[in-house]
Amino acid sequence: MPVSQQYINQWQYSQSINRRVWDNQYTFENFVQNPTVSAVGGGASSGTGGAVNAMQFPYSSFEYSPKGTQTITAPIISSISEGVSALNNEMDQTDNDGVEICAGILSSNPNAYKVAFSSARPGGQASPFFFRTRVTLATVTNTDDCAFGFRLAEAYQANIDDYNDMAVLNVITGDIKIETILNGAATVTTDTTQNFVNGETHDFRVAVDAAGAVTYQIDGQAPTVTAAYSFRSGIYVVPFHFFLHSASAAVGIRLLEWECGFGA
């Protein structure tokens, strides 16, 4: 191997980090620097419930929308241990307050995926896509919702149950649930029978296959109990995280990684 190639390869320690350079519809963020924040329309970020703010990292960008009125107006980076950081998105530690983080809600957004079809793939054939995150929670009983998954590309809602279409893994006071909504119907909740224990870190993955069928993984394995669900063909869905306090107390939620893109 040429010396120059050896020099290049020594820095190629992460295929995820490399891929985010050449794949516009892929995002990998490991939250090592504080974001630049603002209101989506410009100006200072807002803590008013329903406001839409922008959060810009060096290699990725997100939107976030407060749930309830917040005096802390933006998530920040917190240290987990020496050399390890994460996104602290507790905002105010107030019952029924929280925040939703999303890659953007428009169908034109790079991280909006059309179910059972993708014009970005060669020939426009249907392609699978996924959303994966790593999260730690210090006090799980203080979460009303700590959900990760996909929802319809639509306006932000104050209540997670008000989205028109959705498939998530949701930590509710320590119980890991699967929750789904199909075309505006009532939320269907399935208890995986698995739990999130105080201080643990877990890896959640929600994947949508080429036909729209959804599967879930907790730490790389299918849940003990799962649920069948398929998104409607032709709709655009976006990866999102919805967090809500169940008490006026700390949860200690920290997001360590956020990854989404095409792939099984």
Q: Is residue 20 part of a domain?
A: no
Does a structural domain hold residue 174? yes
Residue type, 20: R
CATH number at residue 146: 2.60.120.200
- Percentage of residues in the chain with pLDDT exceeding 70? 90
- What pLDDT is recorded for position 264? 79
Give a yes or no: residue 188 inside a domain.
yes
216: domain range? 25-262
Within a domain: 10: no
User: Does residue 7 lie within any of the structural domains?
Assistant: no
Is residue 170 included in any domain, yes or no?
yes
Average pLDDT for residues 94-110, to the nearest whole number?
94
Backbone φ and ψ of 247, nearest 5° = -155, 160
Predicted structure pTM score: 0.90
pLDDT tens by residue, 214-259: 999 999 999 999 999 999 999 999 999 999 999 999 999 999 999 9
Q: Is residue 185 assigned to a domain?
A: yes
Task: For residue range 143-167, list pLDDT tens digits in order.
Answer: 999 999 999 999 999 999 999 999 9
| 110 close to 24: Cβ distance less than 8 angstroms | yes
pLDDT in tens, 30-58: 999 999 999 998 999 999 999 999 999 99
Can you tell me the distance from the alpha carbon of 66 to that of 165, in angstroms, rounded to the nearest whole number? 21
Assigned domain for 193 exists: yes
Residues 6 or more apart from 104 whose CB is under 8 A from it? 61, 62, 63, 110, 111, 112, 238
* Total number of domains in the chain: 1
CB 143 within 8 A of CB 251: yes
Q: What is the mean pLDDT of the chain?
A: 90
Please name the residues in contact with 160: beta carbons below 8 A apart, sequence gap of 6 or more.
Answer: 145, 147, 166, 168, 170, 179, 187, 242, 244
